[in-house]
């Protein structure tokens, strides 16, 4: 793959260098891939994140030990938020460049509304599911475990708080975070378009101030958001920054052997630390001063150790999984990619399936085999629904192409956001 600095055939090398410098100086602050070009790695890892989130929401079982949270500081949430920022910047960054700030903002607000409606729909059906099960099987513990007791006591107040994103049952914290981050996407894109590095620096500053002054959003009836938007915005903005040219500017650093070994050492260290959590007999190997400095590794405020762990994983992934890797076209990875391409629908489905699996395991019981079967059944359902959605959209697009000229859709590049 050639870059802007590659010499042109038939041009003297010295002239090529001058032309390259001039082109680099004249290049826009952000650079986007060709429209219609799909980044399958994003779909793959977003689908993987959705599967891992579903498994982590189930009671502990055999498949739980295949999720990344057991082997390091970060988990699937970091993957999902980073890719969401990356794809959102890709899709709407192009709109901002081509149509301007106002049009891009209108499109973003339209998407925010769609996600908000999906959240309200998910909330309503999820409450109905829990309430029905709790009443039908005369087991109020379901309502308590899923965090809807306040809704049963004061449904009028609770519904208003839910519409304001302040009340959420268990496992429904990711979409409100996503809605808030998307709500500020126009400002993020404007900053990145103006000065990409300054935009990222401001995000880091907000993250630091959040830790310094303990900024957070309150939740109903008490407490705070499980995912603090003031902190998690860093991962979202970093994903947008990478999409808009940051990753290309870091290519030399990412390809360095020094970077690779730093990542390997840090991931090994994180694995050793998490090993002491699962095997208490090894806790004596952890120095007390190190524990006092590290703990707690909070997820709510995106602890810097979690962020660094994700960066190390991402750096090694980019290094050893190139964009043109043939395996991305493999039929074995197709289920993951399909789920990643329809992330909003599959995430909502995963929340329903997680509670259904929790209910079956609580009522029917069973050992490790039953736990594994429930997990695999949920994954197969998610794959099947993603396949149906993909088939339907393909059929609709095919029918529309017969009646009008094809229109390039920016969503093709990064999937649904």
User: String of b and e for 176-203 (b: at least 16 CB within 10 Å)?
Assistant: bbbbbbbeebbebbebbbeebeebbeeb
Lowest mean pLDDT among 65-74, 237-246, 405-414: 405-414
Is 145 or 242 the better-scoring residue by pLDDT? 242
Handedness of CA 351, 352, 357, 359 (dihedral sign): positive
pLDDT at 156: 85
Q: Where are the domains of the chain?
A: 33-323+333-390+410-414
**Hey, which bits of 9-92 come out as E strands?**
none
User: Which pLDDT band holds residue 403 (cuts at 50, 70, 90)?
Assistant: low
- Cα–Cα distance, 198 to 200 (Å, whole number): 5
Between 397 and 223, name the one with better pLDDT: 223
- Span 68-110, pLDDT tens digits: 999 999 999 999 999 999 999 999 998 888 889 999 999 999 9
Mean pLDDT across the chain, nearest whole number? Answer: 85
Q: What angle do CA 338, 414, 301 make, to 5 degrees?
A: 95
Q: What is the pLDDT of residues 259-318, one digit of tens each?
A: 999 999 999 999 999 999 988 888 888 888 999 999 999 999 999 999 999 999 999 999
| Pair 177, 168: CB distance under 8 Å | no
Neighbours of 84 (CB within 10 A): 25
Whether the predicted pLDDT of 344 surpasses 90: yes
Helix-helix angle 101-136:185-194, to 10 degrees: 140
Question: Please, what is the end-to-end C-alpha distance for the chain in angstroms?
Answer: 28
Least confident of 19-23, 140-144, 327-331, 389-393: 19-23
- Residue 36 pLDDT exceeds 90: no
């Amino acid at each position: 793959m050639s870059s802007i600095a590659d010499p042109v055939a038939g041009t003297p090398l010295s002239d090529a260098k001058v032309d390259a410098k001039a082109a680099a100086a004249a290049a826009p602050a952000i650079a986007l891939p060709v429209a219609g070009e799909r980044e399958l790695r994003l779909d793959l890892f977003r689908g993987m994140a959705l599967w891992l989130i579903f498994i982590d929401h189930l009671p502990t079982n055999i498949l739980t030990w295949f999720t990344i949270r057991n082997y390091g500081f970060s988990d699937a949430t970091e993957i999902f938020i980073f890719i969401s920022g990356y794809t959102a910047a890709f899709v709407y960054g192009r709109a901002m460049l081509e149509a301007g700030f106002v049009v891009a903002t209108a499109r973003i607000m339209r998407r925010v509304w769609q996600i908000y409606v999906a959240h309200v729909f998910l909330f309503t059906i999820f409450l109905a599911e829990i309430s029905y099960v709790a009443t039908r099987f005369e087991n109020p513990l379901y309502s308590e475990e899923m965090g809807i007791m306040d809704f049963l006591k004061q449904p009028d107040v609770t519904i208003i708080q839910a519409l304001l994103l302040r009340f959420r049952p268990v496992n429904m914290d990711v979409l409100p975070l996503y809605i808030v981050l998307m709500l500020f996407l126009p400002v993020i894109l404007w900053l990145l378009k103006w000065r990409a590095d300054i935009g990222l620096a401001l995000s880091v500053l907000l993250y630091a101030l959040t830790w310094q002054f303990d900024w957070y959003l309150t939740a109903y009836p008490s407490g705070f958001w499980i995912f603090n938007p003031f902190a998690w915005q860093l991962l979202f903005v970093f994903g947008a920054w990478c999409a808009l040219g940051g990753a290309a500017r870091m290519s030399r650093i990412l390809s360095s052997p020094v970077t690779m070994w730093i990542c390997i050492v840090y991931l090994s260290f994180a694995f050793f630390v998490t090993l002491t959590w699962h095997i208490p007999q090894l806790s004596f190997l952890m120095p007390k001063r190190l524990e006092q400095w590290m703990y707690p590794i909070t997820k709510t405020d995106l602890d810097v150790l979690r962020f660094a762990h994700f960066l190390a994983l991402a750096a090694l992934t980019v290094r050893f999984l190139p964009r043109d890797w043939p395996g991305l076209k493999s039929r074995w990875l197709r289920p993951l990619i399909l789920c990643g391409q329809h992330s909003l629908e599959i995430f909502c489905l995963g929340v329903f399936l997680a509670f259904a699996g929790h209910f079956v395991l609580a009522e029917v019981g069973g050992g490790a085999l039953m736990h594994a079967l429930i997990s695999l059944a949920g994954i197969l359902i998610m794959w099947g629904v993603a396949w149906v959605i993909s088939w339907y959209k393909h059929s609709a697009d095919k029918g529309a192409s017969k009646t009008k000229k094809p229109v390039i859709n920016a969503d093709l590049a990064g999937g649904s956001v």
